[in-house]
């Protein structure tokens, strides 16, 4: 951490909230005279879509703060299950972790984050947009946040796209729709980014691998001896997705690794 990371996190989260609600207000209040716009629906008493859209935006903001502020799986010196990792006979895949002058074994699939200055269980990556690591405890919430955010962005893109006013000339059209056009371009770009992020995370989750493992497997002690298509944690797509989204609690990955009979190390 440190004061700079705290200040940086505050600025990033503030920017996210401001950008979200500015875009929402522009989409909601921009008057094009069309009856299907949220503002027209609200004025005529058709509240279902306006209320649903605002609620969805609110849920996306709450999920953003939950993922951003929650513990991603920091390893603390008093973690009781740190002792269990000494059980496997082959400990060459375990990494010593220095903590406050004491040395302990670092759980498999964890990694020290240079930005957060913490070791994180089932480390995926450090996300600058949430100013937090994505790890064991918040990864599923991060994926859920991406899904809700994509739904909000696509709905917003539809609102912007159908809200353009028609004019006889391009110059007049640009003057009339400049604000909505800027919002539509920004929302389209954000939609593409979030879609790619969500798709890549769902793909990796379906394989029971992490972004860090996928990008750096040649440098990771417990994976670098595996074949290109070999993953000791892969239990099949259904079980991988079920374990990720529906099974709560800390998994001792050493037991999974050695139970699968991995002898690559």
Give the span between the Cα atoms of 175 and 53, in whole angstroms.
27
CB contact at 8 A, 24 and 153: no
Q: How far is 133 from 118, CA to CA, in rounded Å? A: 9
Residue of 113, 119, 127, 133 marked active site: 127
Active-site residue, 127 included: yes
Q: Point out which residues pair with 97 in neighbouring strands.
A: 104
Among 193, 210, 191, 198, CA closest to 72: 210
Question: What does the CA dihedral 117, 119, 125, 129 come to, rounded to 10 degrees?
Answer: -40
How far is Cα 166 from Cα 34, in angstroms, rounded to an integer? 11
Active-site residue numbers?
Answer: 127
């Amino acid at each position: 951490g440190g004061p700079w990371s705290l200040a940086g996190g505050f600025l990033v989260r503030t920017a996210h909230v401001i950008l979200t609600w500015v875009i929402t207000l522009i989409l909601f209040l921009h008057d094009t005279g069309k009856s299907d716009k949220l503002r027209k629906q609200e004025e005529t008493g058709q509240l279902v879509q306006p209320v649903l859209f605002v609620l969805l935006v609110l849920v996306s903001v709450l999920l953003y703060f939950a993922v951003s502020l929650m513990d991603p799986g920091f390893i603390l010196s008093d973690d009781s299950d740190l002792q269990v990792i000494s059980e496997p006979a082959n400990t060459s895949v375990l990494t010593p972790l220095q903590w406050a002058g004491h040395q302990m074994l670092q759980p498999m699939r964890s990694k020290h984050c240079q930005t957060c200055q913490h070791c994180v269980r089932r480390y995926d990556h450090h996300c600058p947009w949430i100013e937090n690591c994505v790890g064991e405890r918040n990864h599923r919430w991060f994926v859920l946040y991406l899904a809700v955010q994509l739904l909000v962005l696509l709905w917003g893109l539809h609102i912007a796209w159908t809200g353009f006013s028609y004019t006889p000339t391009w110059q007049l059209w640009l003057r009339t729709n400049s604000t909505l056009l800027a919002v539509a371009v920004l929302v389209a770009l954000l939609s593409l980014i979030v879609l790619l992020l969500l798709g890549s995370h769902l793909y990796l989750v379906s394989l029971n691998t992490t972004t860090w493992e996928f990008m750096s497997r040649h440098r990771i002690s417990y994976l670098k001896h595996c074949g290109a298509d070999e993953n000791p944690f892969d239990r099949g797509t259904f079980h991988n997705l079920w374990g990720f989204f529906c099974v709560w609690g800390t998994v001792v990955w050493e037991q999974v690794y050695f139970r699968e009979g991995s002898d690559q190390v």
